[in-house]
Structure 1
Amino acid sequence: MGKARLACHADALDPTGTAMSAAHPNPVVLLHGLGATYYEDLNYLELFLQQKGYCTFSLTYGAFPAFPYVGGLKKISDSSQEIGTFIRAVQQQTAASKIDIVGHSEGAFQSLYVPKFTGVASIIDKIVAIAPPTHGTTFGGIYDLAYVGGNVTRQLNSVILNTVGCGACDDLGPGGSAVIRLNDGKPIKQPGNTLTVIASQDDELVTPTYTAFVNETGVNNLYIQTTCPNDRVGHVGEAYDTNVWNLIVNALDPVHAAPFACSSGCPGK
């Protein structure tokens, strides 16, 4: 397992130091995007959730020993096992009955993939997936080059990406093995799980943007711009956008969901 941390706001600790909160009893596991780590990408969101009284856990998954500061590179199937083990460890440490997951980009894809394929769905409650490449992404059109010569060049591209150490890049492209497996005709949202997918109409990496959504009964798919029309945030910025953060909090605690004043959004793409 990669590097990880338990980071609970003081208000979320009972006298024994157990990671519990009366208002928010579910610990929240945060999953970073491709090329990121547990201390970047979702780190500001994590602090925001702690200030709201949530107990949060995060890890760097999918990193190679020689490059511990770059996560999310290994194949989706390999990283998913690492994440599933981490989620079980969180439950054991906290004695919580359910765990919530918030993921961004590749981490959002993993938030869909892990419950379906690693056997942890029964201990998962709410999932908030920010800009997941659910149906594969062209990475802003770059991946289209892999198909210049049809399936032959697509297969060559796959070999190259896996050789240079980015199996996840291959897995998440159009026709990637993880994308095909996730969309195998069986439900992505697992029984007992609540799923919210948040996307931006200005996402320049998960393209077309609607491919982020999980088109199944009971899934809450929403564009940021439906709530905050003037927020033109891009893919990376979605992790740092306060409008997104407020949508996440409402998804994690729908009983107390509240309107919020929209900001102009994160300027970063």
Structure 2
Amino acid sequence: MRFPALLRRIVTVSCGLAATLGLGSLGAVAQAAPDPAAGPVQTNIVSAAWYALAHTKASPPGANDWSCRPTAKHPRPVVLSNGTGANAYDDWAAVSPALAADGYCVFAPNLGGPDGGMFQAIGDIPTTARQFAAYVDKVLAATGTSKVDVVGHSQGGMMPRYYLKYLGGASKVGALVGLAPSNHGTDLSGLVHVVQALPGGNTFVAALCQACTQQEFNSGFIKDLNAGGDTVPGVRYTVVATKTDEVVTPYTSSFLSGANVVNTTLQNYCAIDGTEHIGITYDRIAIRLVRNALDPSSARTPNCLT
């Protein structure tokens, strides 16, 4: 997706957000209703998004079985955290069933957006992080465990770091795996500079998507999140980026520094992998690397063919 296509997508999403919000206030953003039935397995973001348009509350397949109990092999439940403007289903309709098939208890909330809305994770990020903290506590109580692992995409890979740093999450998380996470913000292929130069540009964007402006490379939120270091003790971090990312730019802004960190790219395993930002949760190599990070004892090195 090159710059003109990216711009068209942003305009389309912005219009969709306005319709979804009904011109209401983001102050009404709240945690979604009880988990509905799971949708089908998907192989790409396009088919997943089409399904989600008509089934905005669908759970990803394999997720949100509150009777699930972790096994000795996979003792920590996995909580999936979606990206800005995505929802639990369209982001995780490939990763969730893969992890469930491996034997994990998988959970995927819709947070940071209007109840039942197509677009989630658009509200104030600290507020979404507090919703996430409450959801993790619910998972821990239901499964009888003391820790979860977290897999997140884009904002969903960065937002849990706020939970770890400020909301007591460090004692409740074993591993955080980020797929193209916005850890150090983004200049959005240069579009952030354009928006900031327009009178009222950031104000307009924030009215539709507060999380969008909070993820700008020089935002107060990003500066605060990374002040004093990127990581907290006791948590294992894995970042999987793609060199062809057109949303989190430069792609290296996904990477973390500190102890217990593994930074990698899809292209380290397949130089010709052209997967971009919104498709990374459907990339075969990315899914393998998630599975490796969650269970290093069963890790397998992917390549272009297998």
Paired position in structure 2 for 1:171: 214
Quote the offset at 1:18 in angstroms: 4.3
What is the distance in 1 between the residues matched to 2:218 and 2:159?
17
Cα separation, 2, equivalents of 1:17 and 1:213: 36
2:125 and 2:67 mapped to 1: Cα distance? 34
- Aligned partner of 1:84 in structure 2 is 133
The question of whether the paired residues in 2 share the 8 Å contact of 1:8 and 1:19 is answered with no
Aligned residue among 225, 232, 241 for 2:267: 225
Give the paired residue count.
Answer: 252
- The Cα offsets for residues 36-66 of structure 1, whole Å up to 9 and x where unpaired, read as 111111121101111111110001111124x
Q: Distance in 1 between matches of 2:157 and 2:209?
A: 17
> Helix, strand or coil: the match of 1:29?
strand
Instruction: Give the Cα–Cα distance (whole angstroms) in 2 for the partners of residues 144 and 223 of structure 1.
Output: 26
Q: Structure 1 residues 104-113 or 238-247, which shifts more?
A: 104-113
State the match for 2:55 in structure 1: none
User: Does the C-alpha gap of structure 1 residues 35 and 147 become closer, same or farther in structure 2, counting only changes over 3 Å?
Assistant: closer
Q: Which has the higher helix share?
A: 2
Question: Which aligned segments of 4 or more residues in structure 1 are displaced greater than 3 angstroms?
Answer: 3-10, 260-264
Is 1:160 the counterpart of 2:190 in the alignment? no
Q: Which residue of 2 aligns with 1:237?
A: 279
% same residue: 30
- 1:74 corresponds to 2:123: yes
Distance in 1, matches of 2:93 and 2:124, equals: 23
Distance change in 2, residues 1:177/1:4 (3 Å): farther
Describe the SS at the equivalent of 1:222.
strand
Aligned-pair distance for 1:162? Answer: 2.6
In structure 1, give the amino acid aligned to 2:108: S
**Structure 2 SS opposite 1:140:** helix
Contact 2:129-2:162 at 8 Å conserved across structures: yes
What is the TM-score of this pair, normalised by structure 2?
0.76
TM superposition score normalised by structure 1: 0.86
Question: What is the CA–CA distance in structure 2 between the aligned matches of 1:182 and 1:217, rounded to whole Å?
Answer: 17
**TM-aligned CA distance change 1:261 to 1:225, over 3 Å:** closer
- Where 1:229 maps in the other structure, the secondary structure is coil
Give the counterpart letter for 1:82 in structure 2. Answer: Q
1:95 aligns with 2:167: no
The answer to whether the 8 Å contact 2:61/2:93 transfers is: no
SS in 2 for 1:60: coil
* Deviation, structure 1 residue 34: 0.8
Do residues 128 (structure 1) and 177 (structure 2) align?
yes
Corresponding residue for residue 73 of structure 2: 23
**Contact 1:139-1:205 within 8 A present in 2 as well:** yes
RMSD: 2.3
For 2:291, the aligned partner's letter is: V
Q: 1:115 to 1:263 in 2, by over 3 A?
A: farther
How far apart are the structure 2 equivalents of 1:193 and 1:4? 29
Partner of 2:41: none
Deviation string, structure 1 residues 145-197 (Cα, Å, up to 9, x no partner): 03437xxx5xx33322232x31001100122232111111x233211100001
Structure-1 separation of matches of 2:34 and 2:273 = 32
